[in-house]
Structure 1
Amino acid sequence: MLVQNDNPTRAAMLARVGSLQQAAYVRPIEYQEGRAHGLRGVEVKNGPLRFMSMADRALDVAQFEYRGENLTFLSKPGLNGRNQFDTNGLEAQRSIMGGLFFTCGFENICAPYVTPEGSKYPAGDYPMHGRIRTTPAEHVSSDAYWDGGGRYVLEVSGEMREAELFGENLVLRRRISSVYGTSTVTVEDEVTNESFRSEPLMWMYHCNFGWPLLDEGAEVVIPSRKATPRDETTAADETPWNEIGAPVDNRPESVYLHDLAADGEGRSFAAVVNRKLGLGVVIEFDAADFPYFMEWKSMGSGDYVVGLEPSNSSVYGRGWHEERGDLHMIAPQATERKTVTFTVIEGEKAIDELAARRDSLLDN
């Protein structure tokens, strides 16, 4: 018997391979050309699932594939390491790669922001989506091992520090894991404020889905009680927020703020599915960890992407929260933790079950 509790048994696997790397491995790599020259990463293969965790960019997961099909968006600049565009206002768009997710924060998310004179907050100039996404990891570790429960675990971990002389000192410790025989990737994060003053902690996972998963006829599946357009441009978009059409030249982006339903345990989800391809990617999380959820829908040719964004802060950004007096803060020496999972689903039945799960949450 090869499978026990949905996972291959150790003896059964070893009987069928010379090296387990036929089926699964974790492998440090370094890119050698172009904008990505010198970029360190960790390649993880878990059977049909393959992804890259970028060690020089917060261990964010860039490329994400299932059975050879790309599932995520890669922006026009492509893969790139640190460069002069990393932390300069809107020029951050020249270094945003997309990928399965990139981490936004921690002093700012969304639009660039400069602290106005007279603010009660320390003066600062904050780039689009913050600085943590470009922070290289330290203490990087990668491993593949049989655990005590008979599971073959693939794991990447490391630490990122967002810090400034006389300023913040926030440490992100991240563990990314996947178990052979499953199609799930789990991201476990904790942020500790190692400074001696309270600090803003804006925290968003910018999850980005692209072709061929994203194509005409694909669908965004979210248990959304209400979808609020961010601005007049979005409000004028007559296409339903959950429907995906073909790319349109120079079409502007639309952004929605969703009020999500959750189950009895406080869990919620968001997904992009493609019935023609027979695949979908589901993001799951505790709704209490992410009181804000945004959908970025860009149907423009060459910028064809849907972003699903669980967040502790609004897309309206730091200034909006400062004016409201509800900017999320973390106390000195305090720690906050969040866990997000990404699961690839396959086949018509699995997609139907996901839609039924959405409907059930909305009916309660």
Structure 2
Amino acid sequence: MTGVNAEHMDPHADVGEVVAGVAFDNATRSDALAHMGSMQQAAYVRPITYREGRAHGLDAIEVKNGPLRFVSMADKALDVSEFEYRGENLTFLSKPGLNGRNQFDTHGQEALRSIMGGLFFTCGFENICGPYSTPEGSRYPAGDYPMHGRVRTTPAEHVRADARWEGGDYVLEVSGEMREAELFGENLVLRRAIRTTYGEPSIIVDDEVSNESFRDEPLMWMYHCNFGWPLLAEGAEVVIPSRVATPRDETTAADTTAWNEIGAPEANKPESVYIHELAADESGRSFAAVVNRGLGLGVVIDFSVEDFPHFMEWKSMASGDYVVGLEPSNSKVYGRGWHEERGDLPMIAAQSSQRKTLAFTVVEGRDAIDALIARRDAMLA
């Protein structure tokens, strides 16, 4: 299978699939059952608990849908840590390694000792990016907000893991809810469902945040998506339909390497961060991807620009910290204080909800990568 056609990466679209040469649809579901004693031979959803190191006690759910395998961390917002395709790792794991939910996660800069990367971790909801404290006299509630917020360290409740037939599709799904709340403060609930289908090279993340308090609340919402070796290697490419790429700071502006080019690791090379203005198709959808022609693989993130009007690229080519982060967001990388000063801090009304969806799709083979490049070029035409 060569992946989903790049022109049809809408997470709500129906995609016909071929697995190991056998087509499974409503009429031929029995073919799968005829070839296997148990569907867990090829696809499963399994609760697991880690037993050592910083991850000791971390509850998670391992999902395999045939060629695709991922792990959703029940103790950390159901964020996806591991993400593999045909046995190849596609994500970044930082030097501290796999981490459970540690209390120091939410103490300012200490987040750097626990942020582990993974396919994505959820940033927000009252802050993204650097730590921030509300100044005296602010019209917003006083508080101290850690790097990338608190929701990423919030354990899930009402967790559900399921694998079932829906007609000819064998569907695997993980769901649950996370509550970011404080006495006399916010009461935000994230209800998340992550869904995939046997044989499809993609997962769909469907999130809804509800404000269950009785006042309007800030709602900064970003997905920090992290790609690493072997997908990220010399000669790989960042593929984004970017109309304008603005360096975040002078360090980034001084980086002589193009934002879309991936070179070899360099000792102590400073990170670069770019703010992109994305093009979109007629339906208002855009994407971002990392592709590696030598490996014959790429990962594409699909999303709506209405849901995510801001997009950042974090590029670290430093030895040992070799990663590219792609970050669809409803707010900018400059953080909460910047938005407060401008008067455009994203908010969610009391007793209301907001929903956002994005999809991660693996593309495989030269033709699929070429189609993705053509998709970008068509958006920029």
| Pairing 1:257–2:275 present | yes
Contact 2:24/2:32 (CA < 8 Å) preserved in 1? Answer: no
Aligned match for 1:2, one of 22, 30, 38: 22
Partner of 1:54: 73
| Pairing 1:152–2:170 present | yes
Partner of 1:36: 55
| Pairing 1:124–2:143 present | yes
Contact 1:102/1:133 (CA < 8 Å) preserved in 2? Answer: yes
Q: CA deviation at 1:155?
A: 0.3
TM-score, length-normalised on structure 2? Answer: 0.94
Q: CA deviation at 1:227?
A: 0.1
Contact 1:279/1:346 (CA < 8 Å) preserved in 2? Answer: yes
Contact 1:192/1:334 (CA < 8 Å) preserved in 2? Answer: yes
Contact 2:67/2:199 (CA < 8 Å) preserved in 1? Answer: no
Partner of 2:128: 109
Partner of 2:92: 73
Contact 1:156/1:175 (CA < 8 Å) preserved in 2? Answer: yes
SS in 1 for 2:204: strand
SS in 2 for 1:203: strand
| Pairing 1:279–2:301 present | no
Contact 1:198/1:331 (CA < 8 Å) preserved in 2? Answer: yes
Gaps of at least 5 residues in structure 1 are none
Query: Residues 167-214 of structure 1, C-alpha deviation per residue, up to 9 Å, x if partnerless?
Result: 000000000000112101000000000000000000000000000000
Partner of 1:214: 232
Gaps of at least 5 residues in structure 2 are 1-20
**Cα gap change, 1:25 to 1:353, in 2 (>3 Å):** same
Partner of 1:304: 322
Structure-1 separation of matches of 2:65 and 2:164: 12
Structure-1 separation of matches of 2:355 and 2:211: 12
Which structure 1 residue ranges, 4+ long, deviate > 6 Å from structure 2? Answer: none
| Pairing 1:45–2:64 present | yes
Partner of 1:82: 101
Q: Where does 1:321-340 land on structure 2 (aligned, <5 Å)?
A: 321-340=339-358
SS in 1 for 2:33: helix
| Pairing 1:142–2:139 present | no
Structure-1 separation of matches of 2:101 and 2:155: 9
Structure-1 separation of matches of 2:107 and 2:27: 48
Aligned residues: 361
Q: CA deviation at 1:84?
A: 3.3
Structure-2 separation of matches of 1:8 and 1:278: 33
CA-based RMSD of the aligned residues comes to 1.1
Structure-2 separation of matches of 1:98 and 1:175: 20
Counterpart amino acid of 1:185?
Answer: I
Counterpart amino acid of 2:77?
Answer: A
Greater relative CO, 1 or 2 (CA 8 Å, sep 6+):
2
Structure-2 separation of matches of 1:161 and 1:330: 15
Structure-2 separation of matches of 1:84 and 1:307: 24
TM-score, length-normalised on structure 1? Answer: 0.98
Counterpart amino acid of 1:166?
Answer: F
Percent identity (aligned): 78
Counterpart amino acid of 1:346?
Answer: E
Q: Where does 1:218-229 land on structure 2 (aligned, <5 Å)?
A: 218-229=236-247
Structure-1 separation of matches of 2:265 and 2:345: 36
Structure-2 separation of matches of 1:91 and 1:85: 6
